[in-house]
Chains A and B, each alone.
Chain A
């Protein structure tokens, strides 16, 4: 009988990964840089920097317009970018991928087109108490305009959705659910697949904010069955200024365009404009071509590393980080969800996070301090701000030890 021998699983070699990120090997304030501000933005691997460089050096040109060789090359790269994103998200069709500036713009696009068309007075929009401002404010603007009502799913003391409340709030007036897959302030991973299934039971579409999750776990829009999903390029090791809105084709088709201009039209007369097909209907003007090319390189990079492997490695790192931080005297971790990744948000006695951030910076350690664009989360936990150390695939246990050492300096100064 033939025995199948599993090839030995390749070990995730973080030291090799680190070599791909030129920015990491630098001295900041006399110390080796420890970059733990990844939930804010991630660093860029050499291949992304190279891709941008090559585009601008060798084939910079506009797309969809010219007949020359450079333009054809840019066209091809741009189209490949859309297909790369399609496969990254496991979307059924490439025209379901709309390029925008960032996750924020994607949500605004949905609110301003789908929302303005299908949400009216007295209708309800359901979001959670752990949303980033990007998934609160666009809906508030819509509510203000339409007389709709914003409803909020509460969270418990661990920073988890209270599921019974979610089910209770889903009602006949609910017109859309907007939910973050992974909280930027708490690290909580929400059960979005189940939430979508429950919303679909009564025919309510769901928008998923995947800005934080897309670089930590595999995101499969068909498996989730989400109606819309957004993420930002700069958080998946790609450039800033490029992001993605995924939408189910039948929804995108009935939505009116958002911005008007070139590229989003089929024909224009002063009497009437016929809009272009998907995805171009939503992509007015010259897009961020370099951004798409850089994002393509970034997605290829993390796909080659393997998001499953990244997730496993980061889970181990996260467990280590949680352990070592828990041993720091008077340190309280904010957000203790059972499903959690990458984010270690904490406060230390009465020392203000801003002061902690400055002490850490002096040690070459970059963290975020403040409210993380999530004021309601801060209010929920009764803190004015937190320190947030957030992990990416290139972080190490040594760096988390450096963080703990840095925190001991905080008490040296603040007693």
Chain B
């Protein structure tokens, strides 16, 4: 059970149960939908960008605990960051869930470090990264759909 606890850390379970920023942001100026056709997860990310700064961000959708918690934590963390900073975080997050990351790297990710258990579960990487791919799509365009497949 220990590896499983590593995957389903309290922070993840908490964000799954009580997702933050889980609503449709009405004045968003960048929106994207993400979809994983294999498991049926879908997420919409709404972003309000002013002067390259993510003023506000929210999400809606349905998915597993990993994907929901990932979207919830992502929106909490990128709020107030510049779009470039968000893209850098996306890259770091992607490395965290796919490759072996040094303890220093993990620490620099702050709360996102709770997803380090995901890389032991290759089947779940797409769950964790769907929200980030969707955020990326929202940042680069006004309205587009992405898929992790």
Contacts and interface: CB of A to CB of B under 8 A. Distances in A.
B39 A371 contact: yes
A413 B4 contact: yes
B38 A371 contact: yes
A172 to B, nearest CB: 36
Contacts of B124: 354, 358
A409 B65 contact: no
Interface of B: 1, 3-5, 7-8, 13, 37-41, 62-66, 68, 121, 123-124, 127
B39 A355 contact: no
A270 interface: no
Contact of B13 (A352, A370, A413): A413
A212 interface: no
A353 B39 CA distance: 9
B40 A362 contact: no
A353 B65 CA distance: 10
Most A CB contacts (10 A, CB to CB) among B4, B5, B40, B123 go to B40
Nearest to A133: B37
Given A354-B39, A354-B127, A362 B65 contact: no
Interface string A335-354: 00000000000000001111
Contacts of A378: 40
A370 B38 contact: yes
Contacts of B40: 370-371, 375, 378, 384-385
Given A369-B39, A370-B39, A370-B40, A409 B66 contact: no
Nearest to A352: B64
Contacts of B62: 384
Classify the interface of chain A: helix, strand, loop or mixed: helix
Interface in A387-410: 409
Contact of A355 (B1, B37, B64): B64
Contacts of A369: 39
A352 B3 contact: no
B65 A414 contact: yes
A413 B64 contact: no
Contacts of A370: 38-40
Contact of B121 (A352, A358, A375, A414): A358
Nearest to B62: A384
A359 interface: yes
Contacts of A352: 63-65, 68
A161 B65 CA distance: 34
A352 B68 CA distance: 10
A305 B3 CA distance: 41
A309 B66 CA distance: 43
A233 B5 CA distance: 39
A152 to B, nearest CB: 20
B124 to A, nearest CB: 6
A237 B74 CA distance: 44
B38 A355 contact: no
30 contacts: A352-B63, A352-B65, A352-B68, A353-B64, A354-B39, A354-B64, A355-B8, A355-B64, A355-B65, A358-B4, A358-B121, A358-B123, A358-B124, A359-B4, A362-B1, A369-B39, A370-B38, A370-B39, A371-B37, A371-B39, A371-B40, A375-B40, A378-B40, A384-B40, A384-B41, A384-B62, A384-B63, A409-B1, A414-B8, A415-B13
B35 to A, nearest CB: 11
Contacts of B39: 353-354, 369-371, 385
Contacts of A414: 8, 13, 65
A362 B63 CA distance: 20
Contacts of B1: 362, 409
A375 B36 CA distance: 12
A308 B3 CA distance: 43
A352 B130 CA distance: 16
Contact of A413 (B8, B66, B68, B121): B8
